[in-house]
Amino acid sequence: MAAHTAAKRGRYLYAIVPATGKRHHGFAGIDGAPVYTISNGRVAAVVSDIPYQKIRPERRHLAAQQAVLKGLLSQADALLPMAFGIIAVGAKEVQEILTRNHDPLAKQLQRVAGKVEMGLRVSLDVPNIFEYFVNTHPELRAARDRFLGSKRNPSHDDKIELGRLFDRFLQEDREAYTEGVEEILSPVCFEIKRNKCRHEGEVMSLACLVGRDAQDRFEAGVFEAAKLFDNNFSFDYNGPWAPHNFVELNLEL
């Protein structure tokens, strides 16, 4: 999506917001550059000047982008966060992008207006996940004893079969737990998106689109959902964030 030219100064894009004129924000962007908007009269891009056409995803750059989005979240009723590293040649190109994509941008801004993203991760907090499943699933325990019993040397196929059985129970439990949590949180969420679990012990990773005035109710829902779990599970809910998981930008350049 980035435009690469020999231009000396590009425009780094942080987000799209509803705006009709140029505005300077009171926070800095990447490399401490001033953050401002470029508008086509209907929607605006939040940008800062940048002296290069490529930018590495270094921690300081990622932190600067997140700081800008956090600042915007406190000021704008709606924003569409951009992916890291999108650079346009100049202000004219930014305005052209806004004009060509006005309708889908306006539609998505309307979709997220007055809303923020909240995250929820639930993980198993046990020393050995396989042993936990063996102790909680009799069928897996029986298979473990059958394949890995002391009186026999398990074959490669036996180990594969045991692994498949474990994975089946893991996926079934994830699905059941996620459905239970979604049922409790759905009344306080406009949308819930399931993200891929990052590791074996993670039970679910949810992105929730929540009204700005409903964050307390979301938190109460998380505590209610936690009652479905025993002390072997840990909850991590976070936010508010810009609605990264609920924005789909396929811009015409």
Question: Which range is least confidently modeled, 59-63, 153-157, 213-217?
Answer: 153-157
pLDDT of 148 reads: 76
pLDDT tier, 150 (very low <50, low <70, confident <90, very high otherwise): low
With a cut of 60, say whether residue 3 has pLDDT above it. no
pLDDT of 174 reads: 97
pLDDT of 2 reads: 44
H or E element that contains 148: helix 138-148
> In the chain, what are the domain boundaries?
10-113, 116-246
With a cut of 60, say whether residue 136 has pLDDT above it. yes
pLDDT of 46 reads: 96
Q: From CA 166, how far away is CA 172, in angstroms rounded?
A: 10
Rg, the chain, Cα only:
24
Q: Which fold has domain 116-246?
A: Alpha-Beta Plaits (3.30.70)
Beta pairing class for 43-50 and 34-39: antiparallel
Q: What is the mean pLDDT of the chain?
A: 90
CA-closest candidate to residue 47, choices 31, 58, 34 = 34
Q: From CA 41, how far away is CA 35, in angstroms rounded?
A: 18
Q: From CA 65, how far away is CA 30, in angstroms rounded?
A: 7
Two structure tokens written together for 232? 């072997």
With a cut of 80, say whether residue 78 has pLDDT above it. yes
pLDDT of 147 reads: 78
CA-closest candidate to residue 87, choices 37, 147, 136, 14 = 14
With a cut of 80, say whether residue 120 has pLDDT above it. yes
Beta-carbon contacts of 122 under 8 Å, excluding residues fewer than 6 positions away, are 177, 181, 202, 203, 204, 229, 233, 234, 235, 236
pLDDT of 252 reads: 63
Instruction: Taking residues 154-180, report their average pLDDT.
Output: 91
